Structure 1
Amino acid sequence: MKIFSVKYLIILFFTIVLFTYCDKKIKYNADELLSINKISKNYCSNDSLNTYYEYIPTKYSIAKKWPVIFCFDPHGDGFSPLDSIKEIAEKFGFILIGSNTISNSTQNIDQTLSVLFDDVFKKYSIDNRRVFICGFSGGARIALSAAINLNKINGIIMCGAGITQPLPELNKLLNVYLVVGNQDFNYREVVNSNNFFNTSYNYHIEVFNGQHRWPPEHELHKAILWLLFNDMRKSFIEKDYDLINLFYNQSISNLKNYENDKQFVKAYNAAKNGFDFLKDLHNTKVFQKKMKKLIKEKAFKEEKNKISSIFYKENLLQDQYLNSYLTKDTAWWKNELKSIENIYNSEKDEEMRALYKRILSFLGIAGYSLTKQYIVNHDFITANKVILIYEIIEPDNPDCLFFKAILKYKSGNNKEAQELFKQAKNKGFNDINLTRQMMPNFN
């Protein structure tokens, strides 16, 4: 049974709906022309080290106000998220800003954010009602904090990270879109985030088939549709009934197909998807009725219980493996990883296969976090032990080489540190903030 993808929806929509603009043409100088309809690098006027990539829609002019999406990557990669969403930004007229300075290791984050926001708002004609933040992993946590603390944020897209504690009451409604891969080590955290929202937040949780990374383009496009539908609800923009009806029909089709395939939890999620996106824009009674019916079904309850038992097992495995980082040697870890691989390859159940992918993903982030923690605490002996295991788990991860460079640097072996750091950069390591923080005066 074919389930139509969101990617198909986006492509189909773009073939049906054409957006036209009636703005007056503005005369740009040569420098301004370079930044239109392409991703280009810029810097803050008050801080040249605070840099960002930007995408400005072709039809941009100061004659109207424009929505903006700020994007935060955990490693300060401002380019990648913009590259994924520039097409839909062009279609719907979003300005995109991708920070190269804000990352997991950024110090004085509030000041850095303030300088970035001030710079963008001074340079461009921004619609204050339509200011959004999108972040991945640690960048998502920064986005949430900024949205809560800065009154100017109207919506956020949190990728690969969830809510871990009750959120504060706000004096306005904040729209929150959470999206995570089913093989992401933060999967449980994200899908359980609904336990921490209150009436100050309008939220939606979306799951895709994938690991801990920026979501694929069509998932990010869907997240932006969520922002658009919320703006339609608030009458910030005109209701696009072609798009609304198309999304409604797509949701009905997915719901029926999941039911026919007896995938009842996915059917429930499809119904909730339709309701969350289309409430107050379309008649959603069919989705509400279906959700009420499904939660009473025996098969649905059995699926939910199965998922709960998998989560319980996952929690136990994480605790056991975290302890094993300090109690087991590299030979044990090599055998254990082979065992996990064999279980994964022989497992037929989709949910169980995703579980073991999440475990492997968790082992990687645990290696990163433990190594960094022991280096910061100057426990270099334990850090060296942990990094040997981390390297077995993720042999191609440039962070391993970076941490090895730090350990050589801390031991006074600057030459080897330089060589390892060069190898890390060649493999893709580019976190300038973390380098400055952990290897000051490194040359």
Structure 2
Amino acid sequence: MKKTGLLLLILFLFQISVAQELTLKKGAVIDSIAVSDTIAESYSLYLPNGYAPNTAWPVIFVFDPEGRGRTAAQLFRKAGEEQGYVIVSSNDIDKRESLLENTRVATRLLNTVLNMFLIDTNQIYMAGLGDGGRVASVMPAVYSRVQGVLAVSDTWLNTDFIEKGARYSFVGLAGYNDYRLRLLDQTADYLRKQGMPARTYNYNGGQEWPEFEMISNALGTFTLEAMDKGFRQKDPGMVEELYAAELETAERLRRTRQDYKAHELLSKMLDKYARYGKKQELEQRIKDLSRTKIFRDQRRQYNRAAATEDEYREQYLYFFNEDVFRANFENLGWWNQQIKELEELQQGNNPAEAEMAHRVQGLLRTLATNSFKDLKERNATNDQLVFTAILQTIFDKENPEGYLNIISISAGDGDYYTALLYLEDLLKTGYDDLEALYNIPRTLDLKLSPEFNKIIEEYLGESKYYKI
């Protein structure tokens, strides 16, 4: 018993000493804190100005798919300060890695923070964007004390885990241009049917972090739930502040003639704030807004856009699978025309159609990327691989991945003409990674040729193996 007590005392003193050292930088994001001495992983940390190392604090772990720990922590900083959260943001989540490997990174970070800081284990939350959102969604299965998940643009769901009695709060965020918007809505619907608290928010944009106001609104969901469960002291003042901030977001939408989106947000607020005495006010605002001509016109536009999106999805999924299976190069022109029409809708004056077109094109981009990876793993024919890689360049002209895939496959197959053609097309997009161009797989002979180097020097001003 004496040895156990001594060990606990040493651990407690260690925690306090580390926390006291970091409190010197309260109110600012601290970057590049090592997870451990033996692993080359780090995180960014934000400690609110009121942080005290001898008090158990709520914490939210943030996972950015590009490993931008500091940037992500800055987005959560204001909400963390106002609502009282420690922000811990990983620098090592990588969208190129598997979900399993990224989850291991997140788990090591979780264990480190729990051992170093006095954390309120009833208020541990996870947040992430894209692949980071999938990691955040996995973490309740890793650590059962996780109380909430904030998933932006993507999520992961294991129905067996949920049906076995998992309980946490889910908040999904998606941009109106994000094709995964439906996925997050469907996830929330399923979780609600399982008796779990779940809601979604939408914002103007695509597959990127929303503005900090939306993050604050979403995080406020966890704050209110913690008060209701008795994990936080009830704070009527904070409730009013959260309500006023969310109401201001709805008002901003209304003032900018986005009545349909304002109505959508107010309806979600009604479910969230009715128990705090806001039901009558919100119902009146919703009623007033539903009477406006702008709202009625926009509602018709969004309903039509939703129906059109369903038609696009059904048609494109069928033709995509058929064309990839047959490597139907004759249909590439048709796909080019479809993208041209979608991009015209994106530039049009109908916001509902523009957002729908962005979502459909985003779906096609992901289909092409995922199909190429799947075909490569299954050792598909070169024709199927090249065809799918060309679709990648059609669906996403600025993404170098498709061009690099074509150059690699064509060069390896001895088709230097096609490889050089797509090399030039890639450089026309502004691509300027000289080292990457000379490390494309299967291009040993090609990259030593005068033609390859001449094209690179023409666009980048230099080449490696041939000087004009």
CA contact (8 A) 1:178 1:204 kept: yes
Moved more, 29-38 or 271-280: 29-38
* TM-score (normalised: structure 2): 0.69
Q: Which residue of 2 aligns with 1:86?
A: 77
State the Cα distance separating 1:283 from its structure 2 match: 4.1
Confirm or deny: 8 A CA contact 1:148 1:170 kept in the other structure.
no
CA distance in 2, matches of 1:311, 1:163: 24
Q: State the distance in 2 between where 1:165 and 1:339 align.
A: 37
Q: Which residue of 1 aligns with 2:352?
A: 351
| Corresponding residue for residue 161 of structure 1 | 154
Aligned: 1:42 with 2:37: no
How far 1:408 sits from its partner (Å)?
Answer: 9.4
Match of 2:339 among 337, 340, 348: 337
Asked if 1:313 is matched to 2:307, the reply is: no
Return the match for 1:188 from 182, 187, 190. 182
Aligned-pair CA distance for 1:352:
1.6
Structure-2 separation of matches of 1:59 and 1:257: 31
Deviation at 1:210, TM superposition (A): 1.0
User: Secondary structure, in 3 states, of the residue corresponding to 2:197?
Assistant: strand
Assess if the C-alpha contact under 8 Å between 1:181 and 1:187 holds in 2.
yes
1:115 alignment partner in structure 2: 108
Picking from 122, 131, 138, the partner of 1:129 is: 122
Per-residue deviation at 1:255? 7.2
Change in 2 beyond 3 A, CA 1:52/1:314: farther
**Cα deviation, residue 164, structure 1:** 6.8
Shift in Å, 1:214 = 2.0
Partner of 1:175: 169
Q: Does 1:397 align with 2:392?
A: no
Query: 1:355 is matched by which residue type in structure 2?
Result: M
- Tell whether the 8 Å contact from 1:251 to 1:273 is kept in structure 2 after alignment: no
- The DSSP-based 3-state class of the residue aligned with 2:372 is helix
Aligned residue in 2 for 1:201: 196
Q: How far off its partner does 1:337 sit?
A: 2.5
Distance (Å, rounded) in 1 between the aligned partners of 2:404 and 2:216: 34
Alignment of 1:19-418 (within 5 A): 32=22, 36=26, 37-45=28-36, 47-104=38-95, 105-106=97-98, 107-108=100-101, 111-161=104-154, 166=159, 168-169=162-163, 171=165, 173-197=167-191, 198-248=193-243, 266=261, 268-287=263-282, 306=304, 308-320=306-318, 322-323=320-321, 324=323, 326-328=327-329, 330-345=332-347, 347-379=348-380, 381=382, 382-400=384-402
**Structure 1 residue 64 displacement after superposition:** 0.8
Distance 1:218 1:410, change over 3 A: farther
The 10-residue stretch of structure 1 (286-295 or 198-207) with the greater mean CA deviation from structure 2: 286-295
For 1:50 and 1:383, locate their aligned partners in 2 and report how far apart those are by CA, in whole Å.
36
Shift in alpha-carbon separation, 1:248–1:48, aligned structure 2, 3 A = closer
Equivalent-residue separation in structure 2 for 1:349 and 1:91 (angstroms): 37
TM-aligned CA distance change 1:61 to 1:255, over 3 Å: closer
Alpha-carbon distance in structure 1 between the residues aligned to 2:408 and 2:370:
14
Answer yes or no: is the 8 Å Cα contact 2:65–2:129 preserved in 1.
yes
Structure with the higher fraction of residues in helix conformation: 2
Q: Deviations over 1:326-376 (max 9, x none)?
A: 43455444443323223443x443222211111222222223222222333
Distance 1:260 1:56 in 2: 35
Q: Give the CA deviation at 1:391.
A: 2.5
**For 1:354 and 1:334, how far apart are their aligned partners in 2?**
19
Structure 1 regions of 5+ residues with no counterpart?
A: 1-25, 430-434, 436-443
Structure 2 equivalent of residue 9 of structure 1: none
Deviation at 1:168, TM superposition (A): 1.5
Deviation of 1:397 after TM superposition, in Å, equals 2.5
**2:233 match: secondary structure:** coil
Count of residues in correspondence between the two structures:
395
Higher relative contact order structure (alpha carbons within 8 Å, sequence separation ≥ 6): 1
CA RMSD of superposed structures (Å): 4.4
Q: What SS class does the counterpart of residue 211 from structure 1 fall into? A: coil
Counterpart Cα distance in 2 of 1:38 and 1:261:
33
CA distance in 2, matches of 1:111, 1:254: 37
One-letter identity of the residue aligned with 1:270: L
Closer, same or farther: CA 124–405 of 1 in aligned 2, 3 Å: farther
Hey, what's the Cα distance between the residues in 1 that align with 2:281 and 2:431? 53
Structure 1 residues 286 and 29, CA, compared in 2 at 3 Å: closer, same or farther?
Answer: closer
Distance 1:170 1:237, change over 3 A: farther
